[in-house]
Amino acid sequence: MPWSSIEAMGLCLPGSSSNPAESPAKMRECENAAEAIRICMEKNIRPRDLLTKESFENALVITMALGGSTNGVLHFLAMAGTAEVPLTLDDVQRVSDKIPFLADLAPSGKFLMEDLFEIGGTPSVLKLLVAAGLINGNIPTVTGKTLAENIEPFPSLPADQKIIRPLSNPIKKTGHLQILRGNLSPGGAVAKITGKEGLTFTGKARVFNKEHELDNALTKGQIPHGENLVLIVRYEGPKGGPGMPEQLKSSAAIMGAGLTNVALVTDGRYSGASHGFIVGHVVPEAAVGGPIAIVQDGDIVTISAETNTLSMHVSDDEIAARMKAWKPPKSVVNRGVLAKYAKLKFDIDSLILDLLSISHIASQNLAAYQS
């Protein structure tokens, strides 16, 4: 999750998300943390007081502007669910539709966060967005001041800097995070599309039931250059993984092999450092019988950021027949914490665990231990 979003929510000290480690600014920030704790205790400022609809909107805005990770979507939805703040994938898409992608930062750009620090850091970006009416500067923060008051002492972005593009000339007119729906992801999927890779991709499916299967194919050179391929990695979601592991190894291997003719679609997660056409968080996941479970080698799959769709070119009748014939695979984990985790209930839209299930499992474990 981009730490700049935590700063935009008022949950950390101003500048903390862009202060380099071991810098004098980071040392001062650590010293000031004690004062912030004192203020929060005296004024009874609690996390729930700061976790509001407005603060989550701020988090989404700064994430879109700076090109933050897709993992932020999972975290924001989980945090909002815990704080009982209504937030859905539709909110993510709504913000993405109106917020331009501004930052020429790695991994898709050429500058680093330390470079941004040198020209004012996250507070200076927030200052730009508050002035434009895109960030709510009136939200409360851990300092006891409003967000606008926190960033007021910081400089505006220099006119000649090249890291943050002007609002009038963005890298992309809308956000890089797109929520894709279609017959392959009726509950939604999250794509990170900066525009550099294009806006649409169509190719033949190559299906892998676990990430290690794709890793083996890549290691053996079994993914050819040339023809467009959509690599489907499934059974890596919250239940199927279990735990929704991050597909960092595969995406890195694809880039390292120079496979510009492939896209990756998974019900697992993928890193913000990933490149190219990658779609993750496919809902419903394969382990619960989502359509991604019945994709077959050779099916034509289209990813479109123009229409926000993820679809396989398979008839409804054929999909229904495949779904009827589908049977869930055996669990890869049958004991221990992950096996218990796989038995939990997951809310599709908010991605929140059923805490009652966790409590029930904990009670069972305690009873077994005491006996």
Give catalytic residues, as residue numbers: 271
> Shortest CA distance to 209 belongs to which of 181, 185, 232, 175?
232
Tokens 């279609």 correspond to 182
Measured distance CA(150)–CA(15) in Å, rounded: 9
Cβ-contact 339, 331 below 8 angstroms:
yes
Measured distance CA(111)–CA(15) in Å, rounded: 18
Q: What is the DSSP string of 128-186?
A: HHHHTTSS-TTSB-TTSSBHHHHHTTSPPPPTT-SSB--TTS-SBSS-SEEEEBSTT-T
The answer for residues whose C-beta is within 8 angstroms of residue 41's C-beta and 6 or more apart is: none
Return the exposure string of 218-241: e unless at least 16 CB atoms fall within 10 Å of the residue's CB, then b: beeeebeeeeebbbbbbbbbbbbb
The answer for residues whose C-beta is within 8 angstroms of residue 242's C-beta and 6 or more apart is: 331, 332, 333, 338, 339, 341, 342
Q: What is the DSSP string of 283-298?
A: ES-GGGT-GGGG--TT
Cβ-contact 291, 184 below 8 angstroms:
yes
Q: 262-266 and 188-192: which strand pairing?
A: unpaired
Cβ-contact 277, 264 below 8 angstroms:
yes
Measured distance CA(369)–CA(371) in Å, rounded: 5
CA distances in angstroms from 207 to 230, 246, 292, listed in the order given: 8, 18, 10
Measured distance CA(82)–CA(75) in Å, rounded: 11
Neighbours of 91 (CB within 10 A): 18
